Amino acid sequence: MTDKRWTSIPAALGAAMAASLIVPVLAGTAIAGPLEDAVAAYDLGDYATASILYLPLAEQGSASAQYSLGLMYAMGQGVPQAYAAAMNWYRKAADQGNASAQNNLGVMYAEGQGVPKDHVEAAKWYRKAAEQGNALARNNLGFMYANGQGVPQDYAEATKWFGLAAEQGDANAQYNLGFFNASGRGMPQNDAEAVKWFRKAAEQGDASAQYNLGFMYASGRGAAKDTAEAVKWFRKAADQGNAAAQYNLGVMYGTGQGVPQDQTEAMKWNRKAADQGSAEAQFSVGFMYASGRGVRRDDVEAVKWFRKAADQGDASAQVSLGFMFANGRGVAREPVEAAKWYRKAADQGDAAAQYNLGVVYDTGQGVPQDLVQAHTWYNIAAARFRQSETENREQAIKSRDVAAAKMTPAQIAEAQKLASEWKPR
């Protein structure tokens, strides 16, 4: 059974929170005689012998053996992987009330393994196991309620089941309960509770919880802001390969938060996240190559990484790629390409790209000269630059007014109308 990821919410450092499902584990059922021999063989990694010993016991009706044989077929341990066979043995055990088999049968239906995907059946079997107190099934049933899969979406019900599993020590449920508290789903937002549950899961080694606990410390949510603690938890998650944590650890090194500033370390962690496909990290790697931070300046490499992030829709990378084409850095100077990338970022609401697009239309570089469009984009940029970006906003206003001096009243009115109607795409 594979780990399963759920919805995400934006986080201030540019990463995301996510929730997860479980991987089934072998039941801890009381054993004796031949069943004990089968379990001993399994524990020694002698799966072929274990499968041979389990088979007659399963055929004689031992629910524990049926469950274990089902697990071995599902995992391909000692027998060829065969989901249909796994389903057969899980069902036999589940029909006898074996909670672990009921849970795993639910997983098979949820994943469409050995049967057509059927969330209603998955929820049914999760519920049977959950009502027997199976923590994994309780988490999974909460997941179904959270997503409206096989049951009506109901955050309160999801919270109930996550809570029951979390109290039993299930790390995935603890993570999910932390996520719900942090995002205010099924309950009022409670960052202190989120920190509590993220910590419990993080201390069990859950990488996503470790990342989110780091985020809470970095942003001062639910706990006093503590960048050193943030770095500690980001590092734990990053060492497990969590891309969001790797990127944020790079941010901490790059800005000297919680650690001495070290651009070489920043590049190292950004690169790890970028290699996993993080658009934010890819942009950061491109920026570091373009500016020579933590690495020798290399505009060709910068363009490569900007393009990777830009192709994923990262607006900062799109405007940066436009800049590289506009100035012939790392690529041949191509005003048409520059205008294309500025437009993509401008359409998303990037103020710098909007200003640059105004310049493009004002000067006719890569597009036909169009003062109405230039005035429009200068105006939009002026409205979207942050309060702290006073110089940029004033430059946009100045450029707009210079363009307006060359326009008719009708053209100015048209540009103002276009600017007032603009919305991010």
Q: What is the pLDDT of residues 139-191, one digit of tens each?
A: 999 999 999 999 999 999 999 999 999 999 999 999 999 999 999 998 999 99
The candidate with the shortest Cα–Cα distance to 230, out of 220, 242, 217, is 217
Residue 27 belongs to some domain of the structure: yes
Lowest mean pLDDT among 21-30, 255-264, 338-347: 21-30
Q: Is 6 a residue whose pLDDT tops 50?
A: no
Phi first, then psi: give them for residue 6, nearest 5 degrees: -120, -170
Q: What is the pLDDT of residue 409?
A: 97
Residue 13 belongs to some domain of the structure: no
The candidate with the shortest Cα–Cα distance to 256, out of 228, 293, 283, is 228
Q: What is the CATH number of the domain that holds 103?
A: 1.25.40.10
13 compared with 115, residue with greater pLDDT: 115
Q: What is the pLDDT of residue 23?
A: 37
Domain containing residue 352: 334-425
Residue 274 belongs to some domain of the structure: no
Q: What is the pLDDT of residue 26?
A: 38
DSSP 8-state secondary structure symbol assigned to residue 390: H
Q: Is 373 a residue whose pLDDT tops 80?
A: yes
Average pLDDT of span 282-302: 98
The whole model's pTM is what? 0.87
Residue 28 belongs to some domain of the structure: yes
Q: Is 264 a residue whose pLDDT tops 50?
A: yes
Residue 144 belongs to some domain of the structure: yes
Average pLDDT of span 6-19: 31
Q: How far apart are CA 252 and CA 204, in angstroms?
A: 24
Last residue of some domain: 120, 142, 166?
Answer: 166
Residue 356 belongs to some domain of the structure: yes
Which amino acid makes up residue 138?
Answer: R
Q: Provide the percentage of residues in the chain whose pLDDT is more than 90.
A: 92
Distance in angstroms between the alpha carbons of the first and the last residue of the chain: 38
Q: Provide the percentage of residues in the chain whose pLDDT is more than 70.
A: 92
Last residue of some domain: 166, 193, 210?
Answer: 166
Lowest mean pLDDT among 29-38, 77-86, 315-324, 392-401: 29-38
Average pLDDT of span 72-79: 96
Average pLDDT of span 339-345: 98
**Overall domain count for the chain:** 2
- Burial class (CB within 10 angstroms; exposed 0-12, middle 13-18, buried 19+) of 135: buried
Q: Is 256 a residue whose pLDDT tops 80?
A: yes
Average pLDDT of span 193-204: 98
Residue 51 belongs to some domain of the structure: yes
Confidence grade of residue 64 (pLDDT, cut at 50, 70, 90):
very high
How does the average pLDDT of the chain come out, rounded? Answer: 92
Residue 109 belongs to some domain of the structure: yes
Alpha carbon 356 to its chain centroid, in Å, reads 31
Extract long-range pairs of 179-184: CB within 8 Å, 24+ residues apart.
179/17, 179/18, 179/19, 179/212, 180/146, 180/155, 182/9, 182/17, 182/212, 182/216, 182/221, 182/222, 183/9, 183/17
Q: What is the pLDDT of residue 360?
A: 97
Decide: helix, strand or coil at residue 416: helix
Last residue of some domain: 166, 194, 218?
Answer: 166
Which amino acid makes up residue 182?
Answer: A
The C-alpha angle with vertex 53 and arms to 48 and 57, in degrees rounded to 5, equals: 140
For residue 20, the cross-strand partners are 5
Q: Is 267 a residue whose pLDDT tops 80?
A: yes
Phi-psi region of 30 (alpha: psi -120 to 50; beta: other; left: phi over 0): beta
